[in-house]
Structure 1
Amino acid sequence: MTTTTPQESILDLATYLPETRVPADYFVQYAEDDALIDNVMFRAPEFRHHAADGETSADMMVTAAHVLTDRHGDDFFDDVDAVLTHSQLPEVPIRGCGGEVAHRLGLRPSTVLDVHNGGCVAFIHLIDLAGALLRANGGRRALIALAQNSAAQIFTQEQVRGKAQAAIPGDGAAVAVLTAETDSGSPILGLSCHSYGQYSGDMTGVTEPPRKYWEAGTGQLHIGFTEAKIAKVLARGNRMVPEAAIEVADSVGIAPADLDWLVTNQPNRIFLRNWREALELPEERHPDTFDECGNMFAVGIPVTLDTAISDGRIREGDVVMMAAFAHAGDFAGAAALRWAGRR
């Protein structure tokens, strides 16, 4: 467990959605006799975005980063001392794409860190890690970048696209710049992360016939869902996200029902409803992008946050609680942010 009172602020964030916008009908035409088709976990969004063929995590992250330089100037990344990235599906075995992202943006950071285990909590997790690095090393700014790139690559495979799970994910990317300068940006008021290692083996990638994911074979990789596993995930997720949000709200002295906004990951509509009801928040204070973007895993929180900022719902001075759980419940976290506007 880590519970911190951070000293960092987010200077700004930006996001990217691939051009290809895929309607639910795309998956209907391939639907097969899946025993999980009526499960609440797999009620499909209206749309999702798919990365183009050959479009990598680094490509999407760099495109999102260029939104920030277009907005603030080419020198916006000049003081970046650390680059932290998270890819849902690292394209290159062993390493991530942080070094490539830093190089393509012309950065010379002292630290490049690729973080693979944060799942849907990765935005919060990277804020926590970046803040710790800045405090420890005396750095000024950190760039955090995330990509969800498995929708087009995994869930449109011939053997996978007919399964109920295939219609839920969408692709996209997000970046944010964190600063150790306490007099600028939108301050992180409080943050908490919890690891639940006892659940870390409950979400698995499977093939038919079975094989290790790196072995050659005919089966195409997908998530090994069963009714029993889904029941466990629903129970854990329903509990973990409100618990994390309430913990952080208590630490900063705000009653959960008095939060201006709740922004969460978005696996499905049932979770979204249950989480806001647990925190006694009305639907209009819990924005989501599920019907446009589907489940974007780690990118869901920053995409929804950026959307609500850009369309004017989140205003200067508003307190935003970000909360999520990952995988089958092996990680959960929350962070409170006071939005200070875009300068």
Structure 2
Amino acid sequence: MPPVSLVDIASYLPGEPVGTEYFTQYSRSDRMAKNVMFRSPKTRHHVGRDETEVDMVERAVQPLIERHGREFISGIDVLLTHTQLPTNPVLGAGPQVARRLGMKPTHVIDVHNGGCAAFIHMMELARTILRGTAARTALIAVAQNCAGPVFTQSEIRGLAQAPVPGDGCGVGLLVKDNSAPILDIECRTYPEFAGDMDFSTGSDRKYWEPGAGQACVSFSESKITKVFARGNRLVPEVAAVVCDRIGVKGRDIDTFVTNQPNRLFLRNWHDALELPAERHPDTFDQCGNLFAAGIPVTLDAEHRAGRLTDGSVVLMAAFAHAGDFAGAAAVRWGAVR
């Protein structure tokens, strides 16, 4: 099969950092706030009220335009997008992103599943399309945009989980060549866990119906325990499969980048791979839980800081929602500077 490379990465964080003190003034439950799942980051970013996922992707892509040229970006063959909270629930963002960037891709796909592992999921989809068609380039974009709109609502901002999420956007550029090859990808779906994460108004009202109650993503306390156990298992599990197939021990991975629900998950995951913490970077304290954007935002931060060495093995891994999806991908790093 022809090799496919992740040749560049870029990201965007909206607005100024929001301190935790914004939420503490509304805090309702000290007991839940002490739960390891909800220990808050120092800061996070929130999208503006009128900022759409299309705006976020356009801003995230700007460094790619500066490095590769507008003509190259407008000529991309495959466009995949993932949005945590679609601005228009009927329409996908892909065609609008294409119009905004002056693109006319042969494939435009809005990928709604994959959750926090959506970046890896879209790497797999893009690689499959590039290998099976005449297409040579792909842009994948993930927009996490539910922190500001959802978790600052008057009935939600006092909940223990409200300070944890942050907003941001990450994009990746894939090319059918061997310059920075994707070494392996593993994606797994676990239907038995589907539906264990809720998006509800806390009442009988559907989110699109008028009335009292504010929509929010939530887990019951009993489900939190189950999700924590699943997450601890699923991420090292898919990561180990990829390591085994590429012939590298987990402890020998140069850089390990995951989604970042909380600090305890981060610690447990690099401990499971026998990796020192410094080889498992994250942006949790600056950005909070970025959902699907966590991997590309952290990768971009490490890349811009010069901490990713050309030729090194970068392993990405994540699990989604309450554990209904998990994925891992390894890349021989060589992104454009």
Structures share fold, TM-score greater than 0.5: yes
- 2:102 is the counterpart of 1:106: yes
1:203 to 175, 197, 208: 197
2:322 to 317, 325, 328: 328
Q: Which moved more, 1:219-228 or 1:297-306?
A: 219-228
> Structure 1 residues 148, 6: closer, same or farther in 2, change over 3 A?
farther
Specify the code of the residue in structure 1 equivalent to 2:98: A
Match of 2:145 in 1: 149
Contact conserved, 2:74 with 2:101, CA < 8 A, in 1? no
| Partner SS for 2:327 | strand
| Partner SS for 2:71 | coil
1:71 to 67, 71, 77: 67
How many residue pairs get aligned? The number is 337
1-side partners of 2:65 and 2:171: how far apart?
Answer: 11
1-side partners of 2:336 and 2:134: how far apart?
Answer: 25
Match of 1:239 in 2: 233
Identity of aligned residues (%): 55
Describe the superposition over 1:182-236 as per-residue Cα deviations: whole angstroms up to 9, x where unpaired: 3x3x210000000001101100112233322222221001123221110010000
2-side partners of 1:325 and 1:233: how far apart?
Answer: 10
Tell me by how many angstroms 1:95 deviates.
2.2
1-side partners of 2:315 and 2:128: how far apart?
Answer: 20
TM-score of the two chains, using structure 2 as the length reference: 0.97
Tell me by how many angstroms 1:34 deviates.
6.3
* Structure 2 unmatched ranges of 5 or more: none
2-side partners of 1:51 and 1:6: how far apart?
Answer: 39
1:50-65 alignment runs, 5 A limit: 50-65=46-61
Specify the code of the residue in structure 2 equivalent to 1:41: M
1:1-343 alignment runs, 5 A limit: 7-33=3-29, 36-182=32-178, 184=179, 186-342=180-336
| Partner SS for 2:132 | helix
Contact conserved, 1:6 with 1:131, CA < 8 A, in 2? no
Tell me by how many angstroms 1:317 deviates.
1.1
TM-score of the two chains, using structure 1 as the length reference: 0.96
Tell me by how many angstroms 1:78 deviates.
4.2
Specify the code of the residue in structure 2 equivalent to 1:91: T
Q: Which moved more, 1:205-214 or 1:193-202?
A: 205-214
Q: Which moved more, 1:242-251 or 1:33-42?
A: 33-42
Describe the superposition over 1:30-89 as per-residue Cα deviations: whole angstroms up to 9, x where unpaired: 111365222110000000011112001000000011111112222231441111000000
Tell me by how many angstroms 1:332 deviates.
0.2
2-side partners of 1:326 and 1:171: how far apart?
Answer: 17
| Partner SS for 1:76 | helix
2-side partners of 1:78 and 1:206: how far apart?
Answer: 39
Contact conserved, 2:257 with 2:295, CA < 8 A, in 1? yes
Specify the code of the residue in structure 2 equivalent to 1:169: P
Contact conserved, 1:241 with 1:323, CA < 8 A, in 2? yes
2-side partners of 1:210 and 1:303: how far apart?
Answer: 37
1-side partners of 2:290 and 2:55: how far apart?
Answer: 17
1-side partners of 2:207 and 2:116: how far apart?
Answer: 22
2-side partners of 1:308 and 1:33: how far apart?
Answer: 35
Describe the superposition over 1:116-151 as per-residue Cα deviations: whole angstroms up to 9, x where unpaired: 111000000000011111122220101111100001
Contact conserved, 1:85 with 1:98, CA < 8 A, in 2? yes
Tell me by how many angstroms 1:13 deviates.
1.0
| Partner SS for 1:189 | strand
Contact conserved, 1:14 with 1:174, CA < 8 A, in 2? yes
Specify the code of the residue in structure 2 equivalent to 1:204: D
* Structure 1 unmatched ranges of 5 or more: none
Contact conserved, 1:6 with 1:189, CA < 8 A, in 2? no
1-side partners of 2:110 and 2:335: how far apart?
Answer: 29
| Partner SS for 2:9 | strand
Specify the code of the residue in structure 2 equivalent to 1:317: G
1-side partners of 2:5 and 2:88: how far apart?
Answer: 32
1-side partners of 2:126 and 2:2: how far apart?
Answer: 11
> Structure 1 residues 341, 84: closer, same or farther in 2, change over 3 A?
closer
> Structure 1 residues 98, 341: closer, same or farther in 2, change over 3 A?
closer
Tell me by how many angstroms 1:103 deviates.
0.5
